């Protein structure tokens, strides 16, 4: 049952019964959402709840939606991003749209560089500088050199330049998607001051975030989506962190995960006070044979950076790593694999798989030294390994020679899992192992993870899927702002406790 605490009399935006279907999935299901001028309205929900899809509808990225969208009580049809901009919609995505090699001014005024005269082919450099400075002043960056390339400014300044760029289109409604994921606490407060000023100017701001503390600090109202549905809208003053978490979760873990008996042995892997300055600091934890250890944290907490540094992809500045209680250092990922430590990346398409290559080639690439004699590589030696992976992970179609880009996303993810299982890892670090896959693929991957643990391997699980974290982990450590702030045992672990802990709240945070 949906709860609402406000009417739409003052709404600058009113989305009524909005739905969007993908093949096999109703991503947004009859959602109502409204926002008033001069309001910060937080939009919250777990991954897959429908937040991004709803906002992409608003941005004109999806035209095959159903329902009504009204701006200032007038129905609009948002058939393209350009149409959305024309009616005053401004979008700031988590992945910034700035072109790093070119100047701040060129980024700010891209597509609308002022000309010396109306039909002149020459741009007006003085006017470019004036307009750029005017936009930067609105976000507190008046001292920034407009000729400096984006690549030479900080992440925080780049975030503010992105806001200034969108403000140049004179939006009435500004959507901000996880705007603080890469910012420090001081930079977050700087951003919040800008948001408060924009609110005073009458701009309506949709603020998407997983950070409860931020939402309670900056938002006037909060709407929660769950499984594509609207489950509650509340004034911030009338709700609590616990209530928001309850709305976001709304289901028991037992409905999705079968209980598994853990047979946990002695310590297998340990990190002591490891740091990569600017990303994570003085992190220590161990993981035992047969144990699944969850690493829980919000976006930008340092989870992925921690995993990458452990296996030698990125450098460590301090601290020690132990395998079988012996100190070891991985100069690169090849050395980590050689010693039985593997890492499944969160981005299969960017740095996990080679999509133009075949299934067999993708699985075999991680074990080339084992399949080689001197300078000669024998593809035939990999056949039994590939066949075994195809069967174990139920990869369909089971054709080793099929190019990977011809497989579904779920089967691609299973190939990525198989690529690292083929190395016979003793320690397997999984970073978002089931992101963007269907229920069937997720179940297969979960069973594989549990089986690997039963065989005495150590699993380190990084996931934003809280039911997955609770259902699979034997215990979890909490990372926040690059620091380990606490640990949650299996008997105290539930989605609410993890979400509160990741936000720096709750009794399990030390």
Convert the pLDDT of each residue in 274-303 to its tens digit.
999 989 999 999 999 999 999 999 877 899
Order of all β-strands in the sheet with 40-44: 89-92, 173-177, 204-208, 40-44, 221-226, 229-235
Do residues 203 and 38 make contact, with C-beta atoms less than 8 angstroms apart? Answer: yes
**Other CB atoms closer than 10 Å to residue 199's CB: what's the count?**
18
Whether 347 has a pLDDT exceeding 70, the answer reads yes
Can you tell me the distance from the alpha carbon of 490 to that of 293, in angstroms, rounded to the nearest whole number?
10
Mean pLDDT estimate for the chain: 87
Q: What is the pTM of this model?
A: 0.63
Q: Is the pLDDT of residue 205 over 90?
A: yes
Closest CA to 82 of 114, 60, 62, 110: 60
At residue 1, the pLDDT reads 40
- Give the N- to C-terminal CA distance of the chain in Å, as an integer: 36
Reply yes or no on whether the pLDDT at 6 is more than 50. no
Cross-strand bridge partners of residue 326: 323
> Which residue shows structure tokens 């072109």?
99
CB atoms within 10 A of CB 345: 22
Domains annotated for the chain, with CATH where assigned, are 1-88+171-184+204-250 (3.40.50.300), 95-170 (no CATH), 288-354+409-502 (3.40.50.300)
Q: For residue 156, what are its two tokens?
A: 């925080």
Tokens 């709407």 identify what position? Answer: 223
Q: Which residues contact 7 (CB under 8 A, 6 or more apart)?
A: none
Lowest mean pLDDT among 82-86, 113-117, 212-216: 113-117
pLDDT at 508 over 70: no
193, 183 Cβ separation under 8 angstroms: no
5: nearest Cα among 313, 336, 361, 247: 247
**Cis (ω within 30 of 0) for the bond into 88?**
no
Of 4 and 89, which is predicted with more confidence? 89
Q: Is the peptide bond before 397 cis (omega within 30 degrees of 0)?
A: yes
Residue spans of beta strands (DSSP E) within 54-151: 66-71, 74-75, 89-92
Question: In sequence order, what are the residues at sequence separation of 6 or more whose Cβ sits closer than 8 angstroms to the Cβ of residue 484?
Answer: 282, 283, 284, 285, 477, 478
Classify burial at 274, counting beta carbons within 10 Å of its beta carbon; exposed 0-12, middle 13-18, buried 19 or more.
buried
CB atoms within 10 A of CB 339: 18
C-alpha–C-alpha distance, residues 131 and 18, integer Å = 37
In the predicted model, is pLDDT for residue 20 greater than 90?
yes
d(CA 368, CA 362): 11
Long-range (24+ apart) CB contacts under 8 A made by 503-509 are 503/211, 503/212, 503/213, 503/241, 503/298, 504/213, 504/480, 505/212, 505/213, 505/241, 508/478, 509/478, 509/485
Place of tokens 């989870």: 303
> Pick the residue with more confidence: 218 or 128?
218
Highest-confidence segment of 6-10, 265-269, 462-466: 265-269
| pLDDT tens digits, 420-456 | 999 999 999 999 998 767 667 788 899 999 999 999 9
Q: What's the helix, strand, coil split of the chain in %, to 5?
A: 35, 25, 40
Return d(Cα 416, Cα 412) in angstroms, integer. Answer: 6
pLDDT in tens, 214-260: 899 999 999 999 889 999 999 999 999 888 888 887 754 444 555 67
pLDDT of residue 202 exceeding 90: yes
Q: Which residues contact 106 (CB under 8 A, 6 or more apart)?
A: 99, 113
pLDDT for 125:
85
pLDDT digits (tens, 9 = 90+) for 304-332: 999 999 999 999 999 999 999 999 999 99
Question: Is residue 153 predicted with pLDDT exceeding 50?
Answer: yes
Token pair for residue 368? 């080339």
Q: Are 360 and 382 in contact (CB under 8 A)?
A: yes
């Amino acid at each position: 049952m949906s709860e609402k605490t406000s009417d739409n009399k003052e709404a600058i935006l009113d989305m009524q019964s909005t739905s969007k279907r993908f093949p096999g999935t109703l991503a947004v299901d009859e959602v109502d959402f409204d926002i008033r001028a001069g309001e910060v309205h937080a939009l919250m929900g777990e991954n897959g709840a429908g937040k991004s899809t709803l906002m992409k509808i608003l941005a004109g990225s999806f035209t095959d939606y159903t329902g009504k969208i009204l701006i200032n009580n007038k129905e609009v049809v948002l058939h393209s991003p350009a149409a959305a901009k024309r009616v005053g919609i401004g979008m700031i995505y988590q992945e910034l749209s700035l072109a790093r090699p070119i100047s701040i001014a060129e980024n700010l005024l891209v597509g609308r560089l002022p000309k010396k005269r109306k039909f002149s082919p020459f741009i007006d450099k003085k006017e470019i500088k004036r307009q750029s400075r005017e936009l930067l002043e609105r976000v507190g960056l008046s001292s920034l050199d407009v000729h400096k390339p984006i690549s030479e400014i900080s992440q925080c300044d780049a975030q503010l330049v992105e806001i200034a760029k969108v403000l140049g289109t004179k939006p009435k409604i500004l959507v901000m998607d996880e705007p603080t994921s890469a910012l420090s606490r001081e930079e977050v407060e700087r951003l919040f001051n800008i948001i408060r000023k924009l609110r005073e100017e009458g701009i309506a701001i949709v603020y998407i975030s997983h950070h409860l503390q931020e939402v309670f600090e900056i938002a006037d109202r909060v709407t929660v989506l769950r499984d594509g549905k609207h489950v509650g809208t509340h004034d911030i003053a009338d709700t609590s962190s616990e209530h928001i978490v309850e709305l976001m979760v709304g289901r028991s873990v037992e409905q999705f995960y079968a209980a598994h008996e853990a047979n946990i042995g002695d310590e297998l892997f340990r990190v002591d006070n490891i740091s990569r300055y600017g990303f994570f600091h003085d992190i220590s934890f161990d993981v035992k044979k047969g144990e699944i250890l969850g690493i829980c944290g919000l976006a930008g907490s340092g989870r992925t950076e921690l995993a990458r540094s452990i296996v030698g992809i990125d450098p460590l500045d301090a601290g020690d790593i132990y395998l079988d209680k012996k100190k070891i250092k991985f100069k690169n990922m090849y050395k980590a694999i050689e010693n039985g430590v593997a890492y499944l990346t969160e981005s299969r398409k960017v740095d996990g798989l080679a999509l133009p290559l075949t299934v067999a080639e993708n699985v075999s690439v991680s074990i080339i030294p084992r399949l080689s004699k001197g300078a000669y590589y024998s593809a035939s030696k990999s056949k039994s390994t590939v066949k075994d992976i195809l069967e174990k992970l139920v990869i369909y179609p089971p054709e080793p020679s099929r190019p990977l880009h011809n497989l579904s996303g779920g089967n691609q993810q299973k190939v990525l899992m198989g690529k690292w299982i083929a190395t016979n890892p003793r320690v397997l670090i999984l970073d978002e192992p089931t992101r963007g896959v269907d229920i069937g693929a997720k179940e297969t991957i979960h069973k594989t993870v549990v089986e690997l643990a039963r065989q005495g391997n150590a699993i380190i699980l990084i996931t934003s899927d809280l039911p997955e974290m609770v259902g699979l982990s034997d215990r979890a450590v909490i990372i926040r702002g690059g620091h380990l702030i606490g640990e949650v045992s299996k008997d105290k672990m539930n989605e609410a406790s993890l979400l509160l802990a990741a936000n720096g709240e709750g009794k399990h945070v030390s």
